[in-house]
Homo-oligomer: A and B are copies of this chain.
Amino acid sequence: MSEKRKKIIAVIGGSEPSSEEARLAEEVGCELARQGATLVCGGLGGVMEAACRGASAEGGVTIGILPGDSPETANPYVQIPIATSIGYARNIAVVKSAQAVIAIGGSYGTLSEIAHALQSNIPVIGLKTWALSRNGQLDNSIILVQNPVEAVNKALNLAEG
Which positions in A face B, CB cutoff 8 Å? Answer: 1-2, 4-5, 8, 38, 40, 61, 63, 65, 69-72, 74, 76, 78-90, 92-93, 96-97, 99, 105, 107-109, 111-112, 114-116, 118-120, 128-136
Contact = CB atoms under 8 A, between A and B. Distances in A.
User: For the complex, would chain A's binding face be called helix, strand, loop or mixed by DSSP majority?
Assistant: mixed
Contact of A111 (B5, B84, B111): B111
Nearest to A106: B134
B84 A5 contact: no
Copies per complex of this chain? 4
A131 B120 CA distance: 20
A82 B97 contact: yes
A134 B106 CA distance: 8
A89 B85 contact: yes
A93 B83 contact: yes
B119 A107 contact: yes
A76 B5 CA distance: 9
A70 B5 CA distance: 14
B76 A2 contact: yes
B81 A86 contact: no
